[in-house]
Amino acid sequence: MRNRPRGSHLGLMLLASQLFQMGLNNIPPVTLAVLGLNVYLYLFPAAPLMQACVSVQQAYWFKDWRRLLLSPLHHADDWHLYFNMVSFLWKGTKLEHRLGGPWFLYLLSVFSLLTGLVYLLLEAILTELTQDQSYSMACAVGFSGVLFALKVLSNHYHPGGVTYVMGFPVSNRYVSWVELVLIHMTSPGTSLIGHLAGILVGLLYTAGPLKAVMKKCAGFVTSNRYNSQPSAYYSSSGYSGQTSPSGAPPPYGFHLSEEARAEDIRLRRLRRFDS
């Protein structure tokens, strides 16, 4: 997250080169679509940069809450976009393969919104503690807060791994915190609070209640969809009343509850009896 004037389009050309080197066919659909959306909104922004960035003053005081949706998807310049999207390309590809497209898209949506909310909360707390209104006026933009949340999640899946930061080995458990400090020291224009907000959101998912809450919400939506249109649900999802070949249900709550399955079996038996 940061805010500075736009530069040339060299970053866009390098990003295109990175995409073709990796191969578009090797990039999973959600990752590719989100990356494409970021590039599109850089070229054709939904709002001017100063109307897309998020701050306590603009979002909370002036009630411009749409900035929570706009700020992660807009970037200050093409280099800002390039570094964020190259990072997202690798993180997104790995996580989407692991979690599946639907859950990864759900995860990105929640992380994007929560990172902005936590950023506002942290800036409001700093304003109150220091009595310095500049914290409430600091306006952040960019996808890097979400990237820090994804980094925490990625490192959570590889707790024993090591990442080299400036040539020094750092345990994956602590690498997000090390990078938080280093990026702030080497790039003063970046938002330390925005990156910290991303780390906290990632920890809420890996060590807090966020994952469980998301599963419950996903299960609730799926259950309501089943109750309103059971035939359409089974037709569109291809669900056959059986578990996966491995015997395990689909991951992360995107499946019917046992009660729903039992009810469906009962209805099928009644239909056979009536006929």
How confident is the model over 114-147, as pLDDT tens digits? 999 999 999 999 999 999 999 999 999 999 999 9
CATH superfamily of 10-161+188-207: Rhomboid-like (1.20.1540.10)
Residue 234 above 80 pLDDT? no
Under 8 Å between Cβ of 151 and 203: no
How confident is the model over 103-117, as pLDDT tens digits? 999 999 999 999 999
From residue 178, alpha-carbon distances to 56, 153, 173, 183, 237 in Å are 27, 16, 10, 9, 43
3-state helix/strand/coil string of the chain: CECCCCCCCHHHHHHHHHHHHHCHHHCCHHHHHHHHHHHHHHHCCCCCHHHHCECHHHHHHCCCCCHHHHHHHCCCCHHHHHHHHHHHHHHHHHHHHHHCHHHHHHHHHHHHHHHHHHHHHHHHHHHHHHCCCHHHHCCECCCHHHHHHHHHHHHHHCCCCEEEECCEEEECCCHHHHHHHHHHHHCCCECHHHHHHHHHHHHHHHCCCHHHHHHHHHHHHHHHHHHHCHHHHHHHHCCCCCCCCCCCCCCCCCCCCHHHHHHHHHHHHHHHHHC
* pLDDT (0 to 100) of residue 99: 95
Under 8 Å between Cβ of 194 and 144: yes
How confident is the model over 149-188, as pLDDT tens digits? 999 999 898 777 777 777 778 877 788 888 888 887 777 7
For 269, the token pair is: 């038996």
Beta strands 168-171 and 162-165 are antiparallel
How confident is the model over 23-68, as pLDDT tens digits? 999 999 999 999 999 999 999 999 999 999 999 999 999 999 999 9
* pLDDT (0 to 100) of residue 228: 53
How confident is the model over 5-22, as pLDDT tens digits? 444 689 999 999 999 999
* pLDDT (0 to 100) of residue 232: 39
Which band of pLDDT confidence, cut at 50, 70 and 90, is reported for residue 199? Answer: very high
Give the whole-number percent of the chain exceeding pLDDT 70: 77
**Entry pTM:** 0.77
Instruction: Say which of 55, 144, 176, 191 is annotated catalytic.
Output: 144
Paired with 2 in beta bridges are: 190
For 198, the token pair is: 């991303």
Q: Note if 144 is an active site residue.
A: yes
**Domain residue extents for the chain:** 10-161+188-207, 212-274
Q: Which range (50-54, 85-89, 241-245, 265-269) has the least confidence?
A: 241-245
Instruction: Say which of 74, 75, 80, 195 is annotated catalytic.
Output: 195
Q: Note if 195 is an active site residue.
A: yes
